[in-house]
Amino acid sequence: MSVYQHNSDLASVTRKSVSGEAQASNAIAWLTGRSLQRNSGVPLDLNWIKEVRVNTSAVERRAQTQVARRTVKKDWQAAWLLRAITCMDLTTLSGDDTDERVRRLCAKARHPIQAEIEQRLGIEALGIKVAAVCVYHTFVETALSALEGSGVGVAAVSTGFPAGLSPLAERVAEIRRSVEAGAQEIDVVITRAHVFGGRWQALYDEISAFKQACGPMHMKVILGSGDLLTLRNVARASFVAMMAGADFIKTSTGKEPTNATLPVSLVMVRAIREYAQQTGMAVGFKPAGGIRTAKQSLDWLALMKDELGNSWLSAELFRFGASGLLGDIERQLEHHATGRYSAEYRHPIA
Amino acid sequence: MSIAEKFVAMEYGPAPEDPKEAVAWLDGHERRFGLFIDGGWQEPAAGEYFDTFDPSTGEKLASVAQGSAADIDTAVRAARVALPKWRALTPHGRARYLYALARLVQKHSRLLAVLETMDNGKPIRESRDIDIPLVARHFYYHAGWAQLLEQEFPAHEACGVVGQIIPWNFPLLMLAWKIAPALAAGNTVVLKPAEFTPLTALKFAELCQEAGLPAGIVNIVTGDGSTGEALVKHPDVDKIAFTGSTEVGRAIRGATATSHKRLSLELGGKSPFIIFDDADLDSAVEGLVDGIWFNQGQVCCAGSRLLMQESIAEVLIAKIRDRMSTLRIGPPLDKAIDIGAIVARVQLERIQRMVAQGVEEGATCWQPQVALPPRGLYYPPTLLSNVHPTSIVAQQEIFGPVLAAMTFRTPHEAVELANNTVYGLASCVWSENINVALHVAAQLKAGVVWVNCTNLFDAACGFGGYRESGYGREGGREGLLEYIEPKWFKHAPKLSSAGGGGESALLSTAAGSGEATSDESDKSSDGANVSAIDRTVKLYIGGKQARPDSGYSMEVRSSDGRLLGEAPLGNRKDIRNAVEAARKGAAWSKATAHTRAQVLYYCAENLAERREEIVHRLAAVVGEKQAAAEMEIGIQRIFSYAAWADKFDGVVHNPPFRNVALAMNEAIGTVGLICPADTPLLGFLSLAMPLLAVGNTVIAIPSEKYPLITGDLYQLFDTSDLPGGAINIVTGYVSQLLKTLAEHDDVDAIWCYGDEATVAAAKAMSIGNLKQVWTNEGRTVDWFDPKQGEGRWFLEHATQVKNIWVPYGE
């Protein structure tokens, strides 16, 4: 995918914003030697949308071979798996969630790995914990109190998650309520119909309204890639979300027929790179749904490392949205520590 | 470094593939290998061995027998002895062996992959994920052809003993490409692996034993260039299949000219990689990674010439540089390595030398900041920009991880630049617009066009080049054709000499033509006295009659010695003019198949109209009976090819990807035609018509025995709306004209029907631009018999297959 033509006004504005040494000090990321700022959005530029080119077969091929080209073994693998844990939004988004269920999840978020395994791996000092716990608004307060002092963030899914079809005013109000309740991160869903209808201005305005409601809190924009279906739609929606000020773009709700896939991720990651190169601003990436194995988490980390660089290997700019992933990572880490293959029941559940 | 430190650094660690099974295999053979001949292992006759090394470490892997001419002779004998039984086996019997080989390759896939990587230096990811699976696929696919052979190719037979010489860049894959079709078609094989990379071929020999393949069917003779030369020159080899450099291909063509060995050559390339402004640029950059940075760029079809549309050049170069920076170069057995070791020091030095020369000629060289391993033969990924078509790095094959970048302005210019090369193996076109992509694909002179993809291979899709990239195809139905021949042709008697043969021999087999001709001859004798006015026959060039440059004429006499007239004596310059006219005959090559069919039908119609006078004149040379038969069957023959013109379609392959691969039968281009002497009319039509039917333009040298036929023919073509330049006729002595025609670099193929000496001369003289040569091998062809004289066999030689790969999906 590429966006090589851009509005010259936009280019001059954004280039100015990143010039000067002083700016480098608030850099949140580096991309091929260039410092990047947090995304503050740019005016909607329809040329970016028009110029989107995604060749599905070629993207699939790259996604397929990327996985075969990269692997990490032994201690490196253990280190990468630990990194995956620290980039995890431990998630529960079910109709049967209760306060107690959320507290249990938060307990796991504080101590994702058993102390004994930590000792064996010699990583106690790292204080490994997940990045955030992701819940419905109803449980924000429960999660906050359960996580108090842990450094683990609380993310709330919002804006009529997962369909995002309630009236705009209600969706914006929902964000405000979560922010007021203390959520540090808001995962919003877009109106997929705007993408199908090519209503980019409407999409941009919607996400801008969400952003405003989020204030300084981090906004993750869920594109609903499983609904959008085509990679070009995913790319276009990615650009609109970033222009409208997304801190993260996120693949899917976890409720769609297919959720995070490597081809979809590759397209979004390339869009992030393009946006960073054009504007000097860094946007994070969150694949969500369907990532259940340790091996998969390594594939995604390698994708981030190769396509965007090491800045996108930390929770600042990369998250896994997952509920079942942690269990498999724990088993792999125990295997690494003991040399014996582990069993699921040996690890406390979330 | 502790896990905690690694957690902070987030770098890739080493991920080595364990070579212990491969090491155990080498040790099990005491790191010393003989020759695999007649089903067993033999010491080389001269007792000489050479060493093969791991290019990533410089360590010796094993000593391998240096096969001599004596060893080649032993192997060829074994193959010859094994041939009758192998050929006599049922198709199903052969299919079972090929199937067993496919299964065995799969069962030993990791050992083969590791061995390949150790011997060659290519990343284990490539040998494991690409080379070896394709090897297995090739044997499966050809097990299928073995099964179907008699149904699909009736009245054909295997060439016989086949000598095969393969390169070091894809050692086992090239072995599979050679051995699988050869065995499927019922040939026996003597294969010489590359000197740098013999090991997987030796392991394959063991798999042949394990499969219970009878002795002598596959023989593996290791050695250097002299071993290959002995194989090429061995008199009892029926066919040579070679993959390697264009220089060696040329030498092989020269060395086999005086023999009847069939030849297929898969040679070098300088393949264009065209990126339009509407391409998915990030994906195109990945295409380059799979193209020029695949197998360290040591790929004959590597997209080594990047042609970028001017408007995107700057952005694209930046993207390419960024991507190059993330390529990992290092020990090829590491599973997370993109670029491994260069196969040998001599190759590394060649790359260094050529890049230096390119820079000297003005190219800008860029290489990412990557640390090369301290030992072993490595060369970093390299981008040369500001390259001009005149530069050596734009013209010659580097065979290394070096990309030469140029720009173009329009699709027209892209095609022009892409085709501005002596090679024509492969090409890539990147555009999201299918109109642009297919329009360009159709115009590229290359055997393979990958649209929005690169370096995809499959056994079902023929692979092979245009121009000096060689001839013949590997894979697909067309690949199998390289290993079989029509039965009648194999056993056809030799032509006694030029001008020999004679009426009775030819006509005795022309069953059924006798009756039709008897009343014809009565009529023609009626008109015997009509043609009293002197006829002036001229050359026919560019749709116009032309006087010969020499100003001389040659006498044409009847069978009983009467002077029949004089034909112009063509010379070098007439051939030059004719080739120029043929090259300009674009109207014909661009005409639709339907239009070509109509014109050919019209030719038949007009020939029939003038039947009597032409037969009458021809009768003076070949006798009345033959003249009448030549006319009658000649008219039918034109009809046949008019019929074929819009029916010799390509196919759509189904490789195991979401993809259509369009195998298009394209005209070869400009073809020189030496017509048979004894059948002045029918021989001419039998060869010129298939060439014309598929859109070639032709320079024909008609029968020396009766060149006056030219006058009749051009009147025929003039009245039948054949556009100027489609066919050009130069009369004269074949011995004088053939040289100019065969040596002419703007002639794409030669069809030469003559005696052995003429045919050998045509082959020997064609090596300049490696034009395709198709001959009667000095054998008689019964033009009166449609089974011999017409059909697919001719059309297959009049065309070359271009495979256009078009992946799809949204």
B67 and B191 housed in the same domain: yes
Residue indicated by tokens 């990490």: A72
The per-residue pLDDT for range B322-350, each reduced to its tens digit, is 999 999 999 999 999 999 999 999 999 99
Residue indicated by tokens 């700016």: A23
Q: What's the pLDDT band for B497 if we cut at 50, 70, 90?
A: low
Residues with Cβ within 8 Å of residue A285, at least 6 apart in sequence: A248, A249, A250, A265, A268, A269, A272, A304, A308, A312, A317, A318, A319
Burial of A340 (C-beta count, 10 Å sphere; 0-12/13-18/19+): exposed
Are A248 and A269 in contact, with CB atoms under 8 Å apart? no
Contact B283 A78 (CB under 8 A): no
Q: Min CA distance, A123 vs chain B (Å)?
A: 6
Give φ, ψ of A66 to 5 degrees.
-55, -45
Rounded Cα distance, A268 and A251, in Å: 8
Type and span of the H or E element at B506: helix B503-507
- Is A90 within a domain? yes
Query: What is the per-residue pLDDT for B318?
Result: 97
Number of domains in chain B: 3
Nearest Cβ partner of A71 from B11, B280, B336? B336
Q: β-strands B772-775, B749-752: how paired? A: parallel
Give φ, ψ of B474 to 5 degrees.
-120, 130
For residue B279, pLDDT beyond 60: yes
B678 and B559 housed in the same domain: yes
B181 and B229 housed in the same domain: yes
Rounded Cα distance, B349 and B346, in Å: 5
Are B74 and B37 in contact, with CB atoms under 8 Å apart? yes
Whether B752 is catalytic: no
Rounded Cα distance, B52 and B49, in Å: 10
Contact A72 B15 (CB under 8 A): yes
* Mean local confidence (pLDDT), B473-494: 95
Are A119 and A160 in contact, with CB atoms under 8 Å apart? no
Query: What is the per-residue pLDDT for B586?
Result: 85
B284 to chain A: nearest residue by CA?
A58
**CA nearest A245: which of A311, A197, A161, A186?**
A186
Is the dihedral angle over the CA atoms B232, B233, B239, B245 positive or is it negative?
Answer: positive
- Is A15 within a domain? no
The per-residue pLDDT for range B637-653, each reduced to its tens digit, is 999 999 999 999 999 99
Mean pLDDT of chain B: 94
Of the residues A76, A85, A265, the best mutation for testing chain B's interface (the one with the most B CB atoms within 10 Å of its CB) is: A76
Query: What is the per-residue pLDDT for B507?
Result: 52
Q: Does the CB of B369 have a partner CB in chain A at under 8 Å?
A: no
B335 and B412 housed in the same domain: yes
- Can you give the CATH number for the domain in which A263 is found? 3.20.20.70
Domain range enclosing A293: 26-346
B283 to chain A: nearest residue by CA?
A58
- Is A21 within a domain? no
Tokens of B788: 């011999």
The per-residue pLDDT for range B110-120, each reduced to its tens digit, is 999 999 999 99
- Is B470 within a domain? no
Stretch among A273-277, B480-484, B497-501 having the lowest mean pLDDT:
B497-501
Which residues partner with B408 through β-bridges?
B309
Q: β-strands A132-136, A153-157: how paired? A: parallel
The per-residue pLDDT for range B302-325, each reduced to its tens digit, is 999 999 999 999 999 999 999 999
Contacts of B315 in chain A (CB under 8 A): 2, 4
Nearest Cβ partner of B336 from A69, A125, A232? A69
The per-residue pLDDT for range B4-18, each reduced to its tens digit, is 999 999 999 999 999
Rounded Cα distance, A337 and B623, in Å: 97
Give φ, ψ of B411 to 5 degrees.
-55, -40
Query: What is the per-residue pLDDT for B547?
Result: 96
B280 and B262 housed in the same domain: no
Whether B266 is catalytic: yes
Query: What is the per-residue pLDDT for B532?
Result: 54
Are B372 and A103 in contact, with CB atoms under 8 Å apart? no
Residues with Cβ within 8 Å of residue A272, at least 6 apart in sequence: A238, A242, A249, A282, A283, A284, A285, A308, A312
Query: What is the per-residue pLDDT for B496?
Result: 76
**CA nearest B465: which of B444, B485, B481, B484?**
B444
* Mean local confidence (pLDDT), A148-154: 97
Q: Does the CB of B3 have a partner CB in chain A at under 8 Å?
A: yes
Nearest Cβ partner of A126 from B4, B283, B336? B4
B196 and B308 housed in the same domain: no
Contacts of A33 in chain B (CB under 8 A): none
B83 and B202 housed in the same domain: yes
Mean pLDDT of chain A: 93
Residues with Cβ within 8 Å of residue B282, at least 6 apart in sequence: A1, A2, A270, B319
Rounded Cα distance, B181 and B174, in Å: 12
Are B426 and B301 in contact, with CB atoms under 8 Å apart? yes
B198 and B341 housed in the same domain: no
Query: What is the per-residue pLDDT for B535?
Result: 79
| Percent of chain B whose predicted confidence (pLDDT) is above 90 | 94
Residues with Cβ within 8 Å of residue B532, at least 6 apart in sequence: none
The per-residue pLDDT for range A217-228, each reduced to its tens digit, is 999 999 999 999
Nearest Cβ partner of B125 from A4, A59, A68? A68
- Can you give the CATH number for the domain in which B456 is found? 3.40.309.10
The per-residue pLDDT for range B509-534, each reduced to its tens digit, is 443 444 444 444 444 444 444 455 67
Tokens of B611: 């039947």
Query: What is the per-residue pLDDT for A4?
Result: 38
- Is B472 within a domain? no
Longest dimension (CA), chain B: 109
The distance from CA A4 to its chain's CA centroid, rounded to whole angstroms, is 25
Within 10 angstroms of residue B438's Cβ, the number of other Cβ atoms is: 17
Residues with Cβ within 8 Å of residue A163, at least 6 apart in sequence: A189
- Residue B384 three-state SS: strand
- Is A198 within a domain? yes
Nearest Cβ partner of B13 from A2, A75, A313? A75
B745 and B783 housed in the same domain: yes
* Mean local confidence (pLDDT), B55-82: 98
Are B503 and B521 in contact, with CB atoms under 8 Å apart? no
| Residues 308-347 of chain B whose Cβ lies under 8 A from any Cβ of chain A | 312, 315, 319, 322, 325-326, 335-336, 338
* Mean local confidence (pLDDT), B154-181: 98
Say whether pTM exceeds 0.90. yes
| Percent of chain A whose predicted confidence (pLDDT) is above 70 | 93
Are A319 and A286 in contact, with CB atoms under 8 Å apart? yes
8-state DSSP, B463:
B
Rounded Cα distance, B193 and B218, in Å: 13
* Mean local confidence (pLDDT), B152-173: 97
B261 and B352 housed in the same domain: no
Tokens of A306: 């190769």
Tokens of B462: 């023929």
Domain boundary among the residues B267, B287, B321 is at B267
Written as one string, the DSSP assignment of A198-249 is: T-HHHHHHHHHHHHHHHTTSEEEEE--HHHH-SHHHHHHHHHHHHHTT-SEE
Contacts of B1 in chain A (CB under 8 A): 75
Rounded Cα distance, B214 and B88, in Å: 13
Contact B129 A78 (CB under 8 A): no
B442 and B540 housed in the same domain: no
The per-residue pLDDT for range B191-238, each reduced to its tens digit, is 999 999 999 999 999 999 999 999 999 999 999 999 999 999 999 999
Are A159 and A178 in contact, with CB atoms under 8 Å apart? no
Are B625 and B503 in contact, with CB atoms under 8 Å apart? yes
For residue B63, pLDDT beyond 50: yes
8-state DSSP, B779:
B
- Is B391 within a domain? yes
- Is B502 within a domain? no
B370 and B318 housed in the same domain: yes
- Is A14 within a domain? no
Q: What's the pLDDT band for B633 if we cut at 50, 70, 90?
A: very high
- Can you give the CATH number for the domain in which B630 is found? 3.40.605.10
Number of domains in chain A: 1
The per-residue pLDDT for range A10-63, each reduced to its tens digit, is 333 343 344 444 455 789 999 999 999 999 999 999 999 999 999 999 999 999
Contact A80 B10 (CB under 8 A): yes
For residue B438, pLDDT beyond 50: yes
What Å distances lie between residue B571 and A292, B131, B224, B237, B554, CA to CA? 78, 51, 43, 37, 12
Query: What is the per-residue pLDDT for B399?
Result: 96
Domain range enclosing B776: 520-650+666-799
- Is B505 within a domain? no
Tell me if the bond preceding A162 is cis, omega within 30° of 0. yes
Residue indicated by tokens 């997940």: A130
- Is B14 within a domain? no
Give φ, ψ of A277 to 5 degrees.
-65, -35
* Mean local confidence (pLDDT), B427-439: 97
